[in-house]
Amino acid sequence: MSTELIFSNARIVTPEAVVTGTLRVADGRIAAIDESRVEAGASTGEDLDGDYLIPGLIDLHTDHLERHVAPRPGVMWNNVSAALAHDAQVATAGITTVFDSLSLMGEHKGVPRGKLLRPMVDGLEAARRQDMLRADHFLHLRCEVADPHVLDYLAVLVEDPAVRLLSIMDHTPGQRQYVQVEKWRQANRHRYNEAELDVLLKERQAAQEVHADRHRHAIADIAARRGLALASHDDESAAHVDEAVSLGVAISEFPTTTVAAEAARRHGLSILMGAPNVVRGGSHSGNVGAADLAKAGLLDILASDYVPISMLHAVCMLAEDPVGLGLPQAIALVSANPAKAAGLDDRGTIAPGLRADLVRFRLVDGVPHIRSVWRAGKRVA
């Protein structure tokens, strides 16, 4: 049985322009766009009253799931319930496709990551089998090259068909994000005293020297064999980007300097930054600002990182002055561009034939208010 939806009196954000008119959806896909008003009630129509209608957001990097699975030190939550809580937060933020980013290193709130990984994935899979999820969920495995167990963690999950993206990370003090060791110490003082930090510093640097290079190449080989997209993380220099390119990387995640972003652009890598960086007005770690990169033409993708609601807020900020991308180009940062980088050719723009993943919102005092969300033509929020 065919199902049809009609969204009239909408400001439809296409790749080229903002069109005031009507969007028709049939059987979960976009059927047509026309610049006319269809009165609500003509079919299963909905009058959007001048609200914006944009593609569903595609988030390639969020570490939010583990916060629901292990919400406090020593607490493990029911894995299906945790998946549902995470999914609800994602969907109501307008994210219809999410790459849950699982960190393959160390521990989270006292729980070894090896004990978190399987419950997180199993909870998502159980919820997916029962059609309980509002968004599409894929997996992004964040591979910490200095961790002695990273390849063991990867082996547990890499065969899962939900895995679509691997990233190569190195958070060793003195490297990349923490090229200034004091910045690393400051980030960890809430967990360790100074003597403990001294010991941990030496342990981390020793592990990096032993494992990082071998693991970096092994992870790149696994990505190539399985046809998975590969990202580098926290590139700080042109040399970091050159190394990433030699490994087959296609996405530069969170470059920490303009120099690294410029090198990524020269090599044709997609440049991904965190939306919270835009909303806050800069990096919480003191690295390069995402808005500055956008203004310089050095930003392709925004991800939620640690705040799902930040994606649409950041887009609306970048659309206006002083960056002034305009809404079509800004929306592409969270829709068309991440879809292309992840190899998802059935979504990401409002165009006939593509999936009807849609978000209705309006601006209230400069803040986007998300009113409705649809995935494949089905309302999910």
Write the pLDDT tens digit of every residue in 268-313. Answer: 999 999 999 999 998 877 789 999 999 999 999 999 999 999 999 9
185 has a pLDDT exceeding 80: no
Q: What is the mean pLDDT of residues 170-198?
A: 69
Is 187 exposed, middle or buried (CB count within 10 Å of its CB: 0-12, 13-18, 19+)?
middle
Q: Which of 109, 213, 107, 114 is CA-nearest to residue 168?
A: 213
pLDDT for the residue 70: 84
- DSSP letter assigned to residue 35: S
Question: Cα torsion at 101, 214, 250, 267 (round to 10°)?
Answer: 140
**Residues 273 and 299: beta-carbon distance below 8 Å:** yes
7 has a pLDDT exceeding 60: yes
What is the three-class DSSP state of 153? helix
Q: What percent of the chain has pLDDT over 90?
A: 71
Q: What is the pTM of this model?
A: 0.91
Higher pLDDT, residue 80 or 286? 80
Q: What is the mean pLDDT of residues 161-178?
A: 83
CA 204, CA 189: separation in Å to the nearest integer?
16
**Residues 71 and 65: beta-carbon distance below 8 Å:** no
pLDDT for the residue 178: 67
Where do we find the tokens 């082996």? 155
Q: Residue type at 240?
A: H
- Assign 181 a pLDDT band (cuts: 50, 70, 90): low
| Mean pLDDT taken over the chain | 90
Tens digits of per-residue pLDDT, 128-143? 999 999 999 999 999 9
Q: What are phi and psi of 57, to 5 degrees?
A: -75, 145
CA 223, CA 228: separation in Å to the nearest integer?
5
pLDDT for the residue 125: 96
pLDDT for the residue 31: 96
pLDDT for the residue 179: 67
What is the three-class DSSP state of 257? coil
**Residues 337 and 300: beta-carbon distance below 8 Å:** yes
Q: What percent of the chain has pLDDT over 70?
A: 88
Q: What is the mean pLDDT of residues 186-201?
A: 69
pLDDT for the residue 175: 73
Q: So what's the architecture of 56-346 in CATH? A: Alpha-Beta Barrel (3.20)
Q: Give the distance between the most distant pair of CA atoms in the chain.
A: 71
The first and second tokens of residue 131, run together, are 């059609």
- Assign 3 a pLDDT band (cuts: 50, 70, 90): confident
- Assign 92 a pLDDT band (cuts: 50, 70, 90): very high
Delimit the domains of the chain by residue range: 56-346
73 has a pLDDT exceeding 90: no
CA 177, CA 25: separation in Å to the nearest integer?
45
HSE of 84, CA atoms in CB hemisphere, 13 A: 11
Where do we find the tokens 């988030």? 59
Tens digits of per-residue pLDDT, 101-114? 998 986 655 667 77
- Assign 66 a pLDDT band (cuts: 50, 70, 90): confident
Most confident of 90-94, 172-176, 232-236: 90-94
43 has a pLDDT exceeding 60: no
Give the list of residues 6+ apart from residue 116 with CB closer than 8 angstroms, or none: 66, 69, 70, 102, 108
Angle at 150 between CA 235 and CA 250, to 5 degrees: 35
State the pairing for strand pair 136-144/111-112.
unpaired
What is the sign of the dihedral through the CA atoms of 159, 114, 61 and 177? negative
39 has a pLDDT exceeding 60: no
121 has a pLDDT exceeding 60: yes
